[in-house]
Structure 1
Amino acid sequence: MAISVDTFFLNPDAQGTLQAQIQEMIAEGILSGRFRVGEKLPSSRKLAAHLGISRITVTLAYTELLANDYLTSRGRSGYFVSDNAPVPPSYTPQQKSGDAMDWGKVLARSFTGGDTPRKPQDWREYRYPFIYGQADASLFDHANWRLCALRALGQKDFAALANDYFDQDDPLLIEYIARHTLPRRGITARPEEILITLGAQNALWITCQLLLNRRRRAAVEDPAYYTLRDQVVQTRCQVDCIPVDEGGLPPEQISEDTDVIFCTPSHQSPTTFTMPMERRKQLLRRASEIDAVIVEDDYEFEMSFLGAPSPSLKSLDSEGRVIYAGSFSKSLFPGLRLGYLVGSEPFIRQARALRASVLRHPPGHVQRTVAYFLSLGHYDAQIRRTAKVLHDRRAVIEDAIRKHGLTIAGVGNFGGSSLWMRAPDGVDATTVAERLKEKSVIIEPGAPFFGAEHRQQNYYRLGYSSIPATRIEAGLALIAKALKQG
């Protein structure tokens, strides 16, 4: 790899000769790790022209660095960073001094300090990763995904790849969602009522920005998806964290001055409870009584290996007050970051404008690749394959839970990829989770899912989408032992 000549510049306030400055510049780049072993330096002619100095000055600097073993010469190929140069293992940019800004005063808003935890990026290195929301590479249809991506790169689809859609989306993807995905949830929608987003999280953020402000009140499930709660709080609205029961969000607990109701009725996050049909109707009636909007996050409805999921709230909505958020990121792979919003046309029009002002639209090539993967039947085949594997893992994990005396606090009626667990009273699941990492076990502590006023420390979530069935029982044995130690 060649080092770009644009990375070199002379400091007008520097001391010493030009030759010394060039030597110091290159040596600093090597010592800091910016320039790595084997990388080629610009030719003396090119560097001299770039810096506006004599070529002989650059040549003399290179020659001195060559003598000191910082550089090596390869015949007519030029100068390269020497194998013997004192290069650190990784590049860490030098910390600049002199930042006089008081960023606490300068920043108008803060987006840190919420409850969103950091999941370990090296989770694949753990032997027992009971981690939620990550993809199992052994279940993904790499071959057909690659073919769809190559097809989307073809001449025929160049416009979809290269065009700026501004506030629009790939018509093929929109058509598939309207004609195939949404009807499975009982939803009928026109293209003007559908917006592609960067995953469900982006869909929820857009919704929060459009519906909430200081004068509005939001009702949020408790426990709930912690990032959603952070997003709601960031709008500075009034927030009610309403404890859920085995039927999900209790409609009678929603106050009369609530403007927006956030819920996950098909697969409550994180308890996995499914809201019964009668309560869904009660929730819609309550929203109508107080003239509130419902935001329905319908994630994981595809993982219905135990039974068909209940109809979505959106499908039961006769007043246009339900905004529906879906995602392909959970059912395909989380790095895809592709979801969609469905709502009344006036709402989607504003959501489209907001998205365009922030990121224009999700990449056209990604949208077209997903459109092909869906329309050619590969998506349905993968869902069936994944559901079968999850069904088998679910049977194994439930048997192992009974064997080791662990307690399930929440379980989905139709499937899913996780279980909501309760540790004995007095046990801090966060502390236990840290200790379990030493045993190559990952569990997700439940405390961040709860609002501050209802925080409980003895809950945790077990995901089983990324751990082979053969390792589940041994992993649960380690968890049981750690919980007994407290």
Structure 2
Amino acid sequence: MAIPVDTFFLGPDGEGTLQARIQQMIAEGILSGRLKKGERLPSSRSLAAHLGVSRMTVTLAYADLQASDYLSARDRSGYYISANAPEPPRFASRPAGEDRIDWSRALGRRFTGGATPDRPLNWADYPYPFLYGQTDPKLFDHANWRHCALRALGTRDFHAQATDYYDQDDPKLIEFITRHTLPRRGILAEPDEILVTMGAQNALWLTAQVLLTQRRTAVVEDPCYHGLRDILTQSRCHTAAVPVDARGLPPDLLPDHADVIFTTPSHQCPTNATMPMARRRALLASARDMDALIVEDDYEFEMAFLNAPSPSLKSLDRDGRVIYVGSFSKSIFPGLRLGYLVGPRPFIREARALRASVLRHPPGLMQRTAAYFLSLGHYDSLIRRMSRAYAERRRVMEAALAQHGLTVAGRGVHGGSSIWMRAPEDVDMGAVADALRGQGVLIEPGASFFHGAAPPRNYYRLAYSSIPPGRINAGIALIAAALQECG
């Protein structure tokens, strides 16, 4: 890799000869780690012209650095950072005066300290990854996705991928969501009632920003998606946590007044409970009585490989008080980061304006590629393939859990991609997860899902979306052995 010539400059307060200053500039770049071994330096002619010095000065500086083993020369190719150059120090070098700001006072608000899970980026290298939200690349339709991406990159679609939509979205993607995705959930919506987001997380953030203030109260399920709880904490609203049971959120436990109720009725996160129809109607009635809005996160509704999914809350709503959150990131692949909001026009109008002030709109190329993948039928084929694979993996998982005597706390009635587990009360699954990682097993401790300062630590989640069926039993055996050792 060639190092761009415009990354070099001589400071106005440098001391010594030009030749010495050039040597020092390059040596500092190597010692700081900015210039990597094997990278090619600019030619002496181009660097001299860029710095405004004679070519001989640069040539002599290069020669001295070569003699010191910082550089190596290759015939007819130029100078490179030597393989024997000194290693950068382990500590980062800092310019003088960088830490003169008192950041404890300078920061107006803090967004750290949430419950973001610790997941290794190389999770796929572990033999037993029971991680939720990750997918098995062997299940994905790489060929057709690549075909759709090439089609989106073509001349005919150049406007769609290159244009600045400002606060709008790709009409092809909106059309598919309107005519195909939403009707499957019993939802009828017009294009101006839909907003494309950067995944469900972004949709929940936009919703909280638009609907909540410091004087309003949000109801969340307990346990619930930890990312939602972080969002509500940052919004500074009042939060009321309602314990869920085997049928999801109980309407009779709602506080006397709530402004916004966040729920996952079809597939409760993380317990996998499914809210029955009678409770859904009761929840809508309770929200009507207190004049509250409901935010329905309908994640994983496509993964209903055991039974048909229940009707969405949005499809039962006759008052326009339900805001629907959907996502393609769970069903296509997590890195896609495409979701959508469906709600009344006044709400979508404000959410659209807020999104435009933060990121304008999701990248046009990704929207158009996804639109082709969806509209050409590849998405439906992918869902069928994933459903068959998940059904087999769940069968193997449940057999392994029964064989090794592990306790299931919740499983999806219609399907899904994970099982909610419970260990004995005196077991800290955070410590167990750390120990299992050294054995190649990745699990998700459940404490971060619970509300309060002292959450139960004996819950954990096991996903089967990212692990081949042939490895499930061996991984469950290692988990059982670790729990037995703790017990």
Q: Do they superpose with TM above 0.5?
A: yes
Matches within 5 A, 1:374-385: 374-385=374-385
- Worse overlay, 246-255 or 170-179: 246-255
- Once the 2 structures are TM-superposed, how far is the Cα of residue 255 of structure 1 from its aligned partner? 1.6
1:229 matched to 2:210: no
In structure 1, the residue matched to 2:26 is: 26
- Once the 2 structures are TM-superposed, how far is the Cα of residue 92 of structure 1 from its aligned partner? 7.5
Say which SS state the counterpart of residue 421 (structure 1) adopts: strand
Question: Contact conserved, 1:32 with 1:92, CA < 8 A, in 2?
Answer: no
Question: Contact conserved, 1:214 with 1:238, CA < 8 A, in 2?
Answer: yes
In structure 2, the residue matched to 1:94 is: 93
In structure 1, the residue matched to 2:287 is: 287
Matches within 5 A, 1:249-328: 249-328=249-328
Say which SS state the counterpart of residue 461 (structure 2) adopts: strand
Q: Which runs of 5 or more structure 1 residues have no equivalent in the other structure?
A: none
Amino acid paired to 1:108: G
Matches within 5 A, 1:415-430: 415-430=415-430
Q: Which runs of 5 or more structure 2 residues have no equivalent in the other structure?
A: none
Amino acid paired to 2:252: E
In structure 1, the residue matched to 2:79 is: 79
- Once the 2 structures are TM-superposed, how far is the Cα of residue 454 of structure 1 from its aligned partner? 6.3
- Once the 2 structures are TM-superposed, how far is the Cα of residue 84 of structure 1 from its aligned partner? 3.0
- Once the 2 structures are TM-superposed, how far is the Cα of residue 59 of structure 1 from its aligned partner? 1.8
In structure 1, the residue matched to 2:64 is: 64
Using the alignment, how far apart are the partners of 2:85 and 2:438 within structure 1?
Answer: 37
- Once the 2 structures are TM-superposed, how far is the Cα of residue 91 of structure 1 from its aligned partner? 9.4
- Once the 2 structures are TM-superposed, how far is the Cα of residue 361 of structure 1 from its aligned partner? 0.4
In structure 1, the residue matched to 2:413 is: 413
Say which SS state the counterpart of residue 466 (structure 2) adopts: coil
Say which SS state the counterpart of residue 188 (structure 2) adopts: coil
- Worse overlay, 450-459 or 270-279: 450-459
Matches within 5 A, 1:7-406: 7-88=7-88, 94-98=93-97, 99-406=99-406
Say which SS state the counterpart of residue 426 (structure 2) adopts: coil
Question: Contact conserved, 1:39 with 1:81, CA < 8 A, in 2?
Answer: yes
In structure 2, the residue matched to 1:446 is: 446
Amino acid paired to 1:375: S
- Once the 2 structures are TM-superposed, how far is the Cα of residue 87 of structure 1 from its aligned partner? 4.3
Using the alignment, how far apart are the partners of 1:264 and 1:112 within structure 2?
Answer: 25
Using the alignment, how far apart are the partners of 2:468 and 2:66 within structure 1?
Answer: 54
CA pair 161-91 structure 1, distance change in 2 beyond 3 A: farther
Question: Contact conserved, 1:22 with 1:61, CA < 8 A, in 2?
Answer: yes
Say which SS state the counterpart of residue 219 (structure 1) adopts: strand
Say which SS state the counterpart of residue 405 (structure 2) adopts: coil
Identity of aligned residues (%): 65
Using the alignment, how far apart are the partners of 1:446 and 1:95 within structure 2?
Answer: 39
Amino acid paired to 1:172: K
- Once the 2 structures are TM-superposed, how far is the Cα of residue 453 of structure 1 from its aligned partner? 5.1
- Once the 2 structures are TM-superposed, how far is the Cα of residue 125 of structure 1 from its aligned partner? 1.4
- Worse overlay, 191-200 or 35-44: 35-44
Using the alignment, how far apart are the partners of 2:406 and 2:158 within structure 1?
Answer: 54
Using the alignment, how far apart are the partners of 1:224 and 1:454 within structure 2?
Answer: 15
Amino acid paired to 2:307: G
Say which SS state the counterpart of residue 448 (structure 1) adopts: helix
In structure 2, the residue matched to 1:471 is: 471
Amino acid paired to 1:243: P
- Once the 2 structures are TM-superposed, how far is the Cα of residue 286 of structure 1 from its aligned partner? 0.5
Using the alignment, how far apart are the partners of 1:73 and 1:482 within structure 2?
Answer: 56
Using the alignment, how far apart are the partners of 1:266 and 1:119 within structure 2?
Answer: 26
Say which SS state the counterpart of residue 409 (structure 2) adopts: strand
Say which SS state the counterpart of residue 362 (structure 1) adopts: coil
Alpha-carbon deviations, 1:91-130, whole Å to 9, x = none? 9753334221111111111100112222121111111111
- Once the 2 structures are TM-superposed, how far is the Cα of residue 279 of structure 1 from its aligned partner? 0.3
Say which SS state the counterpart of residue 452 (structure 1) adopts: coil
- Worse overlay, 112-121 or 457-466: 112-121
- Once the 2 structures are TM-superposed, how far is the Cα of residue 414 of structure 1 from its aligned partner? 0.2
Using the alignment, how far apart are the partners of 2:370 and 2:45 within structure 1?
Answer: 48
- Once the 2 structures are TM-superposed, how far is the Cα of residue 62 of structure 1 from its aligned partner? 1.3
In structure 1, the residue matched to 2:462 is: 462
- Once the 2 structures are TM-superposed, how far is the Cα of residue 452 of structure 1 from its aligned partner? 1.2
Amino acid paired to 2:325: A
Question: Contact conserved, 1:293 with 1:322, CA < 8 A, in 2?
Answer: yes
Alpha-carbon deviations, 1:132-161, whole Å to 9, x = none? 110100100000000000000000000011
- Once the 2 structures are TM-superposed, how far is the Cα of residue 60 of structure 1 from its aligned partner? 1.5
> What TM-score comes out, normalization by structure 1 length?
0.97
Say which SS state the counterpart of residue 151 (structure 1) adopts: helix
Question: Contact conserved, 1:36 with 1:87, CA < 8 A, in 2?
Answer: no
Using the alignment, how far apart are the partners of 1:148 and 1:396 within structure 2?
Answer: 34
> What TM-score comes out, normalization by structure 2 length?
0.97
Using the alignment, how far apart are the partners of 1:440 and 1:60 within structure 2?
Answer: 53
Using the alignment, how far apart are the partners of 1:269 and 1:182 within structure 2?
Answer: 21
- Once the 2 structures are TM-superposed, how far is the Cα of residue 12 of structure 1 from its aligned partner? 2.1
Using the alignment, how far apart are the partners of 1:167 and 1:53 within structure 2?
Answer: 49
Say which SS state the counterpart of residue 294 (structure 2) adopts: strand
Alpha-carbon deviations, 1:198-220, whole Å to 9, x = none? 00000000001001111100000
Using the alignment, how far apart are the partners of 2:388 and 2:251 within structure 1?
Answer: 35
Using the alignment, how far apart are the partners of 2:172 and 2:234 within structure 1?
Answer: 35
- Once the 2 structures are TM-superposed, how far is the Cα of residue 13 of structure 1 from its aligned partner? 2.2
Question: Contact conserved, 1:10 with 1:51, CA < 8 A, in 2?
Answer: yes
Say which SS state the counterpart of residue 79 (structure 1) adopts: strand
Question: Contact conserved, 1:37 with 1:87, CA < 8 A, in 2?
Answer: no
Alpha-carbon deviations, 1:312-332, whole Å to 9, x = none? 000000010000000000001
Alpha-carbon deviations, 1:68-102, whole Å to 9, x = none? 232223334322222332345x9975333422111
Using the alignment, how far apart are the partners of 1:209 and 1:291 within structure 2?
Answer: 19
Number of aligned residue pairs: give it. 485
Say which SS state the counterpart of residue 230 (structure 1) adopts: helix
Using the alignment, how far apart are the partners of 2:410 and 2:445 within structure 1?
Answer: 14
Structure 1 segments (4+ residues) deviating >4 Å: 90-93
- Once the 2 structures are TM-superposed, how far is the Cα of residue 66 of structure 1 from its aligned partner? 2.2
- Once the 2 structures are TM-superposed, how far is the Cα of residue 421 of structure 1 from its aligned partner? 0.3
